[in-house]
């Protein structure tokens, strides 16, 4: 990445902090306290938008209490759980800052890193990714699968996301406005940000363990997120049909030749049913894999064509409804 030019330097921005929240009542009091410390240091003003993504514990009550005590805290309450990407999108839709920082609520994204992000923004960067140089409190399996995810995306995706970066980043108003026009339902925000371009840089930090509570991303959800990322930014899975077809031919042609030689030798009966069964299983398996991949992509097209909203807000505290996207 090229260094920012001197003429790209910016003044102190008004800052928006966007925090998706789902069942985080254990950590919310500490989160609010640490966010308040960051906001106190913002010379041009700051707001924190807490997005309640269908929590079923006491999270919404704590969020509402924070908005009553400090008007800089603002809140959105979803009608149900719409997922982490939708919660991020809602926060960005309602944010009014010149620079917007997205972070998780579990304090594995330290709010105290925000001033360093703002310093890079003022140098002229439009996107500042917080890159994990170390991951505390994560299992070896999770670290291994995360590394595998970024390697696969690097090989197959047209514009792969930055490795070892989650959703913790600062983005400029120009980037937020561009993201506002991208309303696909199966969305990986980090991938969309990478796809947009603009001037991007990274800021390394050691990611701490969760301050409280349990992870909201077990293996099942991580696998689904990875699949969404792959299919949203690559058509490589569709090309698998061609690969499977070629492999089937490469196996079928020599197998057929071998069977023909055996038949000419007068011993075709020993090869009949086993060969037929193996051939049918091979072709049927390849066909079903291809149909499944095609069906997944067609299903995503169907989701987009229906045009349903990405999220539904039940209540807003301190925020007005944004212009319809």
At 287-308, the pLDDT tens digits run 767 776 777 677 777 667 777 7
Q: Which one has a higher pLDDT value, 303 or 112?
A: 112
pLDDT digits (tens, 9 = 90+) for 147-187: 666 666 556 556 666 677 888 999 999 999 998 888 887 77
Asked if 173 and 98 touch (Cβ cutoff 8 Å), the reply is yes
- Distance, in Å, from the CA atom of 55 to the CA atom of 70, rounded to the nearest integer, reads 22
Which spans in the chain are helix H?
28-40, 59-69, 84-94, 114-123, 140-156, 173-180, 189-196, 219-233, 236-264, 272-306
The mean pLDDT of the chain is: 78
- Distance, in Å, from the CA atom of 160 to the CA atom of 264, rounded to the nearest integer, reads 54
Supply 320's token pair: 């007005």
With CA atoms as reference, report the closest residue to 246 among 283, 275, 274, 209: 283
Q: Which one has a higher pLDDT value, 27 or 213?
A: 27
Q: Is the pTM of this model over 0.75?
A: no
Q: Which one has a higher pLDDT value, 35 or 136?
A: 35
pLDDT band at 256 (very low <50, low <70, confident <90, very high): low
Kindly write down the DSSP assignment for every residue of 233-260, as one continuous string. H--HHHHHHHHHHHHHHHHHHHHHHHHH
pLDDT band at 144 (very low <50, low <70, confident <90, very high): low
Q: Which one has a higher pLDDT value, 50 or 268?
A: 50
**Most confident among 103-107, 183-187, 229-233, 274-278 (mean pLDDT):** 103-107
Cβ neighbours of 48 (radius 10 Å): 26
């Amino acid at each position: 990445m090229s260094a920012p030019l001197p003429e790209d330097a910016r003044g102190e921005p008004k800052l928006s902090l966007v925090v998706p929240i789902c069942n985080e009542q254990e950590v919310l009091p500490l989160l609010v306290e640490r966010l308040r410390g960051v906001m106190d240091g913002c010379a041009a003003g700051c707001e924190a938008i807490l997005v309640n993504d269908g929590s079923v514990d006491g999270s919404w009550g704590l969020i509402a209490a924070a908005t009553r005590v400090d008007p800089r805290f603002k809140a959105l309450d979803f009608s149900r759980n719409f997922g982490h990407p939708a919660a991020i999108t809602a926060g960005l839709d309602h944010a009014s800052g010149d620079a917007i920082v997205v972070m998780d609520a579990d304090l594995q994204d330290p709010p105290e890193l925000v001033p360093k992000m703002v310093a890079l923004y003022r140098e002229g960067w439009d996107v500042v990714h917080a890159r994990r140089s170390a991951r505390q409190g994560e299992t070896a399996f999770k670290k291994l699968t995360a590394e595998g995810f970024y390697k696969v995306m690097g090989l197959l995706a047209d514009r792969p996301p930055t490795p070892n970066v989650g959703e913790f980043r600062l983005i400029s108003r120009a980037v937020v406005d561009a993201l506002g026009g991208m309303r696909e339902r199966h969305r990986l925000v980090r991938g969309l940000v990478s796809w947009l371009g603009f001037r991007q840089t990274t800021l390394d930090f050691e990611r701490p363990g969760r301050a409280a509570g349990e992870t909201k991303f077990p293996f099942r959800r991580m696998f689904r997120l990875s699949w969404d990322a792959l299919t949203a930014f690559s058509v490589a899975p569709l090309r698998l049909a061609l690969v499977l077809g070629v492999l089937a031919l490469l196996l079928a042609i020599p197998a057929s030749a071998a069977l023909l030689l055996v038949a000419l030798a007068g011993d075709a009966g020993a090869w009949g049913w086993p060969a037929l069964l193996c051939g049918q299983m091979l072709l049927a398996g390849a066909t079903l894999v291809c149909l499944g991949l095609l069906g997944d992509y067609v299903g995503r097209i169907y989701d987009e064509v229906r045009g349903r909203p990405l999220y539904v807000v039940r209540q807003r505290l301190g925020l007005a409804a944004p212009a319809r996207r």
